[in-house]
Amino acid sequence: MKAQKFLCSLGVLLLILSVGCASETGGTFASNQARVAQSVSFGTITHLADARIENNPSGIGAVGGGVAGGVIGSTIGGGRGRTLATVAGAVLGAAGGHAAEGAIRRSQALEISVRLENGQMVSVVQELGPEERSFLVGDRVRVLRGSDGTTRVRR
């Protein structure tokens, strides 16, 4: 029974932490961006710099970790010891869940500066994917701007 609670709690925690692991590369579009016209400008990459995208933690990791830690802690000891183990497990689980969610929601990115054909300069930060890894200063690219305010750089 204790092993079942532990495995169930661990499974719930992993499921919760995996929520929100979506790619934000230039070639990844949200479902609401499909079949929607985007304006396209052409330009030349003038500068590339490493960047990092850190999404704000939603709290789901801390809550899930706290619940899982509390359940696991409740399987330890008896009486007051069980209560203490439950509280300690919840606190440690919440801290661990928060840290894990932060790590999952952090990704390598690339800041791409582009001089458009009209002379305007734009800079776009997007997650580092296969296409972004191949960008070089001087490459001709397309800058796509969606009606929702999103902008991305593509070949």
In a domain, 129, yes or no: yes
84 in the same domain as 128? no
In a domain, 144, yes or no: yes
pLDDT in tens, 24-55: 677 777 776 777 889 999 999 999 999 999 87
pLDDT in tens, 126-138: 999 999 999 999 9
Is residue 141's pLDDT more than 90? yes
63 in the same domain as 49? no
pLDDT in tens, 52-75: 998 766 677 667 777 887 788 778
138 in the same domain as 74? no
Give the closest residue to 51 by CA, choosing from 126, 113, 141.
126
In a domain, 98, yes or no: yes
84 in the same domain as 140? no
Amino acid (one-letter) located at 50: D
In a domain, 31, yes or no: no
- Cα 149 from Cα 41, distance rounded (Å): 15
In a domain, 73, yes or no: yes
Structure tokens at 103: 């790590």
Average pLDDT over residues 93-116: 77
Categorize the per-residue pLDDT at 105 as very low, low, confident or very high, splitting at 50, 70 and 90.
low
Instruction: Give me the long-range contacts of 25-32 (CB less than 8 A, separation at least 24).
Output: 25/126, 25/127, 25/128, 25/129, 25/130, 25/131, 25/132, 26/126, 26/129, 26/131, 26/132, 26/152, 26/153, 26/154, 27/129, 27/131, 27/154, 28/127, 28/129, 32/148
Predicted model pTM? 0.58
Q: What is the pLDDT of residue 59?
A: 72
Q: What is the pLDDT of residue 24?
A: 62
Percent residues over pLDDT 70 in the chain: 74
Q: With contact defined as beta carbons under 8 Å apart, do 99 and 79 qualify?
A: no
Domain that holds residue 115: 36-53+107-155
Mean pLDDT across the chain, nearest whole number?
A: 79
Give the closest residue to 89 by CA, choosing from 20, 16, 1, 2.
2
Q: What is the pLDDT of residue 14?
A: 53
41 in the same domain as 60? no
114 in the same domain as 61? no
Q: What is the pLDDT of residue 19?
A: 45
Sequence-separated (6 or more) residues with CB below 8 Å from residue 146: 33, 36, 38
- Cα 46 from Cα 136, distance rounded (Å): 9
Structure tokens at 31: 């479902």
126 in the same domain as 93? no
Q: What is the pLDDT of residue 62?
A: 65
Tally of domains within the chain: 2
61 in the same domain as 1? yes
Q: 60-74 and 80-104 are packed helices; what angle lies between their axes, rounded to 10 degrees?
A: 150
